[in-house]
Chains A and B, each alone.
Chain A
Amino acid sequence: MSEPTTIAAPAAPAGFAIQKKRLRLLGLTVDDTIKAFFGGNAVVAIVVLTLITFFLMQEGLGFFAQNRQSLQVYRQAGLEYVDFIRTEVDDHTALTRYLSDLRLRQLTALTEGRKLSLDEANAALANFDKFSDTFSSTVDPVRSLLSDLTEQATAIKTKFIVTGDKKEERAQLLAEGKTAEAAAVKIEETDFAAELKPLLATLPAFKEANREFSRALTASLEGAPVPPTPELVARMERLKQLTRDYLARLPSVERSLETWDYTLPIPAWKTVSSFVFGRQWLTASFWQDWYGVIPLFIGSLMVSIVALTLAVPLGVGAAIYINQIASLREQRVIKPCIEFISAIPSVVLGFFGIAVLGQALRALSQFSWLSWVPGFPYSERLNILTAGCLLALIAVPTIFTLAEDALNNVPRALKEASFALGASRLQTIVRIIVPASLSGIISAVLLGLGRVVGETMVVLLCAGNRIAIPDFTDGLSVVTQPVHTMTGIIAQEMGEVVRGSIHYRALFVVGLVLFVLSLIINYAAQKIVRKYRISIG
């Protein structure tokens, strides 16, 4: 209060110069610049994530336009028309397959049930074989028509593609300034209406063939022999029913053919839905390429389910053991060991699967005392089970480490309170510790899932790489079938595709699906953990 220090700050006394002008570059001091430099590095994470999105989109999104065009050509060139007939024939083939399965069962029944020799049994089935032959040959008129039409449609498509190539060639020549050469490239526009005329003109012939087929098939059912056992009789009845249903569907095929119009445009959603819900991933085919992600997705899903089924009990169990039950010495030894397992490169595990595990599991499946296990015995060395087992080994360390962390974070006081109330160790673990850390454990499992879904080398080497939706009709034995996965398909086909082709872009879209999937899994895991933190605090 003594000296009224002036409000307007005076020039500081010489000895107390705390106002200092620092060197400035573009309005930034050196320290600001350094800070900006470090900040720039931190932004890299965001930038990389953005770039990943950008490049996957850049390469991938073109797929949908190209796929739409591919579907358009599929329609315009009459391939779709021919496929109506093909489906009809294929359905019939499915029935014949049922028939041969029936024959096999009869043979077994005769040789094992009635102790006939193989020759005797075959002789006894002569009647059945005759029926079977008639049954399968009924479709022949339609089939021969189909093969003609297939050729025609393929020819139209080829013509269109050649035209496209020529256009490209000309455009390229023009771009290079070679006008004369460009003019020399002859382009024959594909006139789909004219090209399709002969194809469509076969409709009466098809109807005729179809009628004959229908009559013959109905007639053939009359000659169906009666199988030896009641169970097989029932199967035969089932076949008859299926055949009758099939026959009832035949007119609808004709109607589809009649109403089919090549000029109908392909709606935009169709190109997306054909990818998302497409049940076929068929590439480099002479007929029509399909890019449906479903078989790959199911493959990834099945492998992950098997892996998690094994890894979750093991990982969480080990975490509980190490965190709650094990002695200090065990803890010290085992924890680094399990962490160490996570360092095994996946390609080595994949090699181990091919070289050792595949064979070992198959050999195991062939023991007769294990035949009660669904799917056992099996013959495919590389399948969902093999890949799943190895992926479990990859997921266990992840789940273990994170779950152990979660258990560790449970306040000691909770545990002590439970003990003080006279609870046993098991009761404390089951009722107090695990519930308190449940969300941490769930998020550990989710992150384990993320690891498994994104794993490439193991599934590429060990999942069998058969691109088909596995057959779920036999229940759990589905795990012994080979599949292909989303990660595997990228790794396998990326090296072979033509840059910019529809196939190339389809692989990028699969990558995009994986990317989005991993983000979702990650997000869910974080969300759960965050919720958990709040509940504790």
Chain B
Amino acid sequence: MVIAAPILMDTPPSAPAKSSAEKPSVRPMPSFVPSAAGPGASTAPIGKTLVDISHLDFFYNTSQALHDINLKIEAKNVTAFIGPSGCGKSTLLRCLNRMNDLIDGTRVARGTIKIHGVDIYQPDVDVIELRKRVGMVFQKSNPFPKSIYENITFGLRLQGMNDSAKLDEIVEKSLRGAALWDEVKDRLGASGLGLSGGQQQRLCIARAIAVEPEVILMDEPCSALDPVATAKVEELIQELRSRFTIIIVTHNMQQAARCSDKTAFFYLGKLIEFADTRDIFTKPANAQTEAYVSGRFG
């Protein structure tokens, strides 16, 4: 809360959504995280369209969860998905790294999702590679019942990295990146389950950034946290925006307002409005959006 207000204030007025892609936005928050020269980080300049969703229809068995979604998400920006429960925002998020594949009876009936211009639903796409590039943080923090150190290195070890000096370095970097280093540096061998809820969630974020993804999907990362822990995570998101493209699903409109550059409002499986966060909250174009952000329903 404390830090939230200035962020919104400091965010420079962006151009309307349609043209914002060309326009590099100004980064108000100083990033004190040393930017890792990950493969993803270098390829997409700030503000360029990274994720391009077009005409997406999505089904759970016979019921349609998403209707004709068209959305362009920019690199190195924080994009928030808001909307009432069951509006399809989490579903869309899980489409982006194909976590929905794990649920029986789901299918993309129409449309494409392109990341870097590559349709991720193409048959020759390797889901495993995709998920390495598109990380995810879940609603309920889910550290593995392993040590903090092992939690962070899990993804790296999967990719065959065994150099312990390198691993140590990345663990520190990731934990610092997740603003957790100072709290856990003396007990890296302790179980990740022993941390508090907010720490667990930041551990999960650290775990996600350790593999240097390009996009980080956050599915209501703060819904199970108390306000103090929430503030810390939000702060963290601000720090990460310089290095990663972040898409966050949230229930909490203030959170969207505080953290995100752009906001998409969903209702009943449809994308109602997508614009700069400030515009959404101050002068929404759509009456439904206005009703929602002003708290009249949802």
Residues of the B chain whose Cβ atoms lie less than 8 Å from the Cβ of A19: 118, 122, 124-126, 129
Q: How far is the CA of A3 from the CA of B52 in the complex (A)?
A: 11
Q: Is B40 at the interface (CB under 8 A from chain A)? A: yes
Q: Across the interface, which residues of A come within 8 angstroms of B124, CB to CB? A: 19
- A16 interfacial by beta-carbon distance below 8 Å: yes
Any B CB within 8 A of the CB of A495: no
Q: A1-B18, A2-B49, A5-B52 are in contact. Are A18 and B129 (CB under 8 A)?
A: yes
Please report the C-alpha to C-alpha distance between residue A20 and residue B52 in the assembled complex, in whole angstroms: 21
CB of B133 within 8 A of CB of A16, answer yes
Provide the bound-state CA to CA distance between A12 and B119, in Å. 10
Distance A1 CA – B20 CA, assembled complex (angstroms)? 10
Binds A, one of B109-117, B148-156, B258-266: B109-117
Determine if B129 and A20 form an interchain contact, defined as CB atoms under 8 angstroms apart.
yes
**Closest CB in chain B relative to A256 CB, distance in Å:** 69
- A3 CB contacts on chain B under 8 angstroms: 21, 49
Closest chain B CB from A15 CB (angstroms): 4
Q: How far is the CA of A403 from the CA of B52 in the complex (A)?
A: 56
Residue in chain A with minimal CB distance to B21: A2
Q: A16-B133, A18-B120 are in contact. Are A5 and B43 (CB under 8 A)?
A: no
Q: Is there an interface contact between A15 and B40, defined as CB atoms closer than 8 Å?
A: yes
Cα–Cα distance between A6 and B94 once the two chains are bound (Å)? 24
Q: Determine if A22 is an interface residue (Cβ-Cβ < 8 Å).
A: yes
At the interface, yes or no: A17 with Cβ under 8 Å from chain B?
Answer: yes
Complex CA–CA separation, A17 to B116 (angstroms) = 10
Asked whether any CB of chain B lies closer than 8 Å to the CB of A9, the reply is yes
Provide the bound-state CA to CA distance between A2 and B129, in Å. 27
B42 in the interface, Cβ–Cβ < 8 Å? yes
Q: List B contacts of A17 (CB < 8 A).
A: 129
Is B130 an interface residue when CB atoms closer than 8 A count as contact?
A: yes
Q: Which residue of A lies closest to B127 (CB)?
A: A18
In the bound complex, CA of A22 to CA of B126 (Å) = 8
Judge whether A20 and B49 touch: CB under 8 Å: no
A510 shortest CB reach to chain B, Å: 43
Q: Does A204 lie at the interface of the complex (its beta carbon under 8 Å from any beta carbon of B)?
A: no
Docked Cα-Cα span, A375 to B122, in Å, equals 79
For B57, list chain A residues within 8 Å (CB).
none
Chain A residues closer than 8 Å to B128, beta-carbon distance? 20
- Tell me which residues across on chain A come within 8 A of B270, comparing CB atoms: none
In the assembled complex, the Cα of A510 lies from the Cα of B169 at a distance in Å of 71
Give the shortest distance, in Å, between B79 (CB) and chain A (any CB): 16
| Chain B: interface residue total (CB-CB under 8 A) | 27
Known: A3-B49, A15-B39. A9 touches B122 (CB 8 A): yes
Select which of A6, A14, A15, A22 is within 8 A of B117 by beta carbon: A6
A14 CA to B118 CA, complexed, in Å: 12
Per-position 1/0 for A384-397, Cβ under 8 A of B: 00000000000000
B22 touches A2 (CB 8 A): yes
Instruction: Tell whether B214 is near chain A: CB-to-CB under 8 Å.
Output: yes
Q: Are B49 and A16 in contact (CB under 8 A)?
A: no
Chain A residues lying within 8 Å of B43, measured Cβ to Cβ, are 13-16
Contacts of B125 in A (CB 8 A): 18-19
A12 touches B126 (CB 8 A): no
B67 proximal to A (CB < 8 A): no
- Chain A residues lying within 8 Å of B42, measured Cβ to Cβ, are 15
Contact of B72 among A1, A6, A9, A16 (CB under 8 A): A1
Cβ A9 vs Cβ B117 within 8 A? yes
Interface hits, B11-25 → A, CB 8 Å = 18-19, 21-22
Task: Tell me if A10 is interfacial: C-beta within 8 Å of chain B.
Answer: yes
Q: How far is the CB of A91 from chain B (nearest CB, A)?
A: 69
Q: How far is the CB of B88 from chain A (nearest CB, A)?
A: 22
Distance between Cα atoms of A17 and B214 in the complex (Å) = 12
Do residues B133 and A18 form an inter-chain contact, with CB atoms below 8 A?
yes
A31 vs chain B, min Cβ distance (A) = 9
* Set of chain A residues within 8 Å of B133, measured between Cβ atoms: 16, 18
B residues within 8 A CB of A6?
117
CB distance from A230 to the nearest CB of B (A): 81
What residues on A are CB-neighbors of B115 within 8 Å? 16, 18
Complex Cα–Cα for A2 and B72 (A):
10
Partner of B126 from A2, A15, A16, A20 at Cβ < 8 Å:
A20
Contact with A along B232-255 (1 / 0, CB 8 A): 000000000000000000000000
Contact flag A9-B21 (CB < 8 Å), given A18-B129, A19-B126, A20-B129: no
CB distance A16 to B18 under 8 Å?
A: no
Tell whether, in the assembled complex, residue A16 and residue B22 are in contact, meaning their CB atoms are under 8 Å apart.
no
Report chain A residues within 8 Å CB of B130.
18
| B22 touching A5, Cβ below 8 Å | no
Complex CA distance for A20 and B39, rounded to whole angstroms: 16
User: Would you give the shortest CB distance from A426 to chain B, in whole angstroms?
Assistant: 43
In the assembly, what is the distance between CA of A2 and CA of B75, in Å?
14
- Closest A residue, CB atoms, query B19: A2
How many Å lie between the Cα of A16 and that of B212 in the bound state? 12
CB pair B117–A12 under 8 Å, yes or no, is yes
CB distance from A9 to the nearest CB of B (A): 5
Q: In the assembled complex, how far is the CB of residue B72 from the closest CB belonging to chain A, in whole angstroms?
A: 7
**Which residues in B have their C-beta under 8 angstroms from that of A15?**
39-40, 42-43, 116, 214
A16 contacts B21, CB within 8 Å? no
B21: A residues at CB distance < 8 A: 1-3
Q: In whole Å, how far is B261's beta carbon from the nearest beta carbon of chain A?
A: 16
Bound: A10/B18 CA distance, A: 24
State the CA gap A2–B119 with chains docked (Å). 18
What 0/1 readout, one digit per residue, does chain A (15-36) give for beta carbons within 8 Å of chain B? 1111110100000000000000
Chain B residues positioned under 8 Å from A13 (CB to CB): 43, 116-117
In the complex, A306 Cα to B122 Cα: how many Å?
66
Alpha-carbon separation in the docked complex, A298 to B281 (Å)? 81
State which of A2, A16, A20, A22 has its C-beta within 8 Å of the C-beta of B116: A16
Report, nearest first, the 4 A-B pairs whose CB atoms are least far apart. Answer: A15-B43, A15-B39, A20-B126, A16-B116
**Other A-B pairs beyond A13-B117, A16-B118, 9, CB < 8 Å:** A1-B21, A5-B117, A15-B214, A16-B39, A16-B40, A16-B116, A19-B129, A20-B128, A20-B129
Q: Residues of B with Cβ closer than 8 Å to A?
A: 18-19, 21-22, 39-40, 42-43, 49, 52, 72, 114-120, 122, 124-126, 128-130, 133, 214
Interface pairs (26), CB distance under 8 Å: A1-B18, A1-B21, A2-B19, A2-B49, A5-B52, A9-B114, A9-B119, A10-B117, A12-B116, A12-B118, A13-B43, A14-B39, A15-B43, A15-B214, A16-B39, A16-B116, A16-B133, A16-B214, A17-B129, A18-B118, A18-B126, A18-B129, A18-B133, A19-B124, A19-B126, A20-B126
